[in-house]
Structures are given as C-alpha cells and as structure tokens.
Amino acid sequence: MKRYYDPIIFNNMLDGIDRRKYLIATYCVEDTVPDVDFLDHFALIQQMILEGSTGTWAEVKEETAEVRERLSGKLVGYYEVPAPEGVKKAVVQFAFSTDAWGGDVPMMLLSFAGNCFAYSPKLRLLDVCFPELLVKQFQGPKFGVEGTRQLLNVEKRPLVLHIIKPKMGMTPEQTANQVYETAIGGVDMVKDDEMTSETYNCKFEDRLKAVMAALEKAEKKTGKKVIYFISVTDEVNKIHEKARNAVKAGANGLLLGYSAGPSVLRVLAEDPEIDVPILLHPSHMISMTPRISWPPLAKICRLCGADLMLTPSYWSSIPLVSLEEGLRTAQVKTAPFFHIKKTWPMPAAGMYPGLLPTLVREYGTDIVIPAGGGMLGHPMGYTAGAMAWRQAIDAVMEEIPLEEAAKTKPELKAAIDHWGILRRPRTPWLRASPKYHPKTSQEE
C-alpha cells in the first residue's frame, strides 16, 4: 500500500544526510486553508520538495524510487511553531542533492528558491548551508577583506566610500570633479550609483577615463590610492566584455547590480583577466526581502565572488530588516567558509559620521561605509564631507568620543551639528527592574 508520505523524502535527519554533497535550505512556513479543520502540513511540504527537485503535481512512471533516492529533495528538519487554531507554522529544512545541478548557479537557485514560493504565501527562506564538495567548485572573492586592504595599504580601520550623486545626469567631467574633491578629503573608494548607466551626456569610456585621471591627480597630491568601482551592469551578453575592456582601460574596481544575476558575478570573479575587486550592489534583493532573508543572499554572493556587498542596517534611511537580520548578514560575509575569502560588509543607506561609533561596535572594523548624501551634503562642501568621515574614523579607532574630537576638527563638528550623533537605545533584559541594573561599558 502506498504511503501518504514517501519515506525517501521524509525518513531523514541532518545527522544522517551526507553533508558533503547536500545543500541544506531552512525556511519559515505558515499555512492555512479557510474553513478547513484538518491541515495536513506534510502533504504540502512533500509537494514543495518535489517541485524543487524531481516531481510535478501528477505521478510520472519515469520518476522511479532510484531517481528520487538520488535526485529528490529530502525533509531533514521539521520544527513546529505554536500557532492559532487553523494555522500550521513551522521551521523546516530541506536537503537538495548537488547531483541535480553540480556547480550550475541558476539551476541551484531554482531548487531552493524557485517554485516552492508558489505553494505557500508566507514561506520565507531563512538560510542556505552549502556543502563542501559544492563550495570547492567556486573561487569566491578574488580579494576579499585582506586583499582589498593590501591594495589600499590600510591595515585595520573601517574604510569609507563616496557614492557619486546624483545617480545620473552628470557629464564625465562633472563626475571626475566630484570624485577629485572627495579623494583629496581622504576617501578610500568611490563608486557609481547602482542606477548609473550610459546616458546622452555620459558615455562609459569617457566617465572611466575622466575619473581615473582625477584619482591619479589626487594621488599625486595626497599619496593615497583610491579605488573607483565603475558600473558594468548591462545586458548579460555585454557584461563580461564590458568588464574586461574596463580593466584594460585602467579600471581598478567594478560595480555589478544583483539584477544582472549572481551567475554573471561568478563569471567576472573567476576571470583571471579581471584582476580588480568587485562591488555587488543588492538592488533587486530589496524586492525579495519578504520571501528571502538577507543572510542566504549574502552567502550566495560571497560564494560567487563579491569582494564587497552592501548590507542592510537598522539605523539606515531604509530600515529594511530587523537589527538581528542586518547584523547576521554582515556576520555570514566574514565567518569561516571553507576556502572562500571574506566579503566586506557595507552598512548602507543614509549613513552619516555620527553613526560611526554604533556601526563599529556592531560590525567591527572590517566594514566599508558608503556615503552619498552623508558626505556630499556636508555644509562645508565635498572635501570637508570626506574629511569629516576620516576624522570620525580616527576618533573611533582611538576611542575618543566624537564630541571631544570635534572640538579641534571643524569638518567633523559641522557634520555633527548638521546630522547629529546616534544614541543607541538599550533593552533592559535579564533583570526585573532597570533601576537596579549595574552600569557597564555597554552604556557608554
């Protein structure tokens, strides 16, 4: 007699699965059917697993037990979460065999982030754990945190990046002039906005030539190297050649939008001729946030070769995710991951110098902070805006309060007067009454 739930799919545990070859995807799933009392959650989950691997909604004779054993997804964890009557809610873990797609990134994404979302309107992908045999097929970031530090000759402190604004409309000369002003102010990097493309008044080659000339001029004045991440986001059939030509023409960094796809990122990162860091802008990821959490997206981009990647921050002008999800996104970019180098976290959106003490205590010093309006909107101008950031970084590294450092730094003082300093709230956990809490350094 045929069982309701195929043992090949259901009779598995994380303890017994071959972790070297199975990718583990973790989801939060919540389901209900109006006016139905009996909710068979396993029936729905079985269909979701088969949709991500071998099956369809009807039985097909060629889908044999052997095919399922080798290629179908497996349920390896089901952790029910208390829910109101008439609702089924759980954290579930599916294992997908890499025999189904090897190192093919687009096909891999179809398995754990494809049709499964059509089956459960409140399904959210929480994490992906990549197996060793799969990761060995990837190079990951060429430079990562340590390699980028070596390029810039900066050992420990956070790095600051100037986002070129407005997003579009400037000529190559205007762009280069803006970059020069922030470069002599001390920025470590500059980048195109993710929306920057070729327009009637700003061609790709002309912008690259003008900006690199401006950075060379600034370096002669300051002795400091600055990386320019020029956007190569384009049609898929054009990106690779565009990136190669940019490097040949002198580009020392590339910017790629996620809208082009992580597979394209991998192609660029694994090309030996493209020997410059790549900054991945998450762009389209924002629309995925209700269904896919940011840590697995960060892992995918790190695996595919992102040297830097913007990170959602709770304190930003776009409060996209929770504090914990934003921090976890940064943590998985730098946590041990077989041979894969670390990807720079970039707490982003609405950054200003008064946020720096909080950002460093949350993320550590291995961060790149991108600033557009929070640098270019400085009351004393673009160069002063860059200087204010460097002054804030120096103060934080020396553990000097920003208010104290600002007494002798007019650029930092103007930034603080203009934007303020974040006072991070505290949550009175652990003890019954906050009035009895001991004072700690965490309150500083």
- Given 41, 122, 165, 167, which residue is catalytic? 165
Beta strands 344-348 and 308-312 are parallel
Dihedral angle computed from the Cα positions of residues 195, 196, 201 and 206, in that order, rounded to the nearest 10 degrees: -170
Compute the distance between CA of residue 30 and CA of residue 259 in angstroms, rounded to an integer: 28
- Given 88, 191, 281, 342, which residue is catalytic? 281
Q: Across 350-435, where does the E strand assignment appear?
A: 368-371
Scanning 163-251, the segments in alpha helix (DSSP H) are 172-183, 204-222, 236-248
Cβ partners under 8 Å of residue 14, min gap 6: 24, 76, 77, 93, 95
Q: Is 281 annotated in the active site?
A: yes
Q: Are the CB atoms for 275 and 284 separated by under 8 Å?
A: no
Helix, coil or strand: residue 256 = strand
User: Structure tokens of 282?
Assistant: 């998450």
* Measured CA distances, 144 to 136, 141, 278 (Å): 17, 5, 9
Q: Are the CB atoms for 24 and 76 separated by under 8 Å?
A: yes
Q: Is 41 annotated in the active site?
A: no
Relative orientation angle of helices 323-334 and 294-304, to the nearest 10 degrees:
20
Active site residues: 165, 281
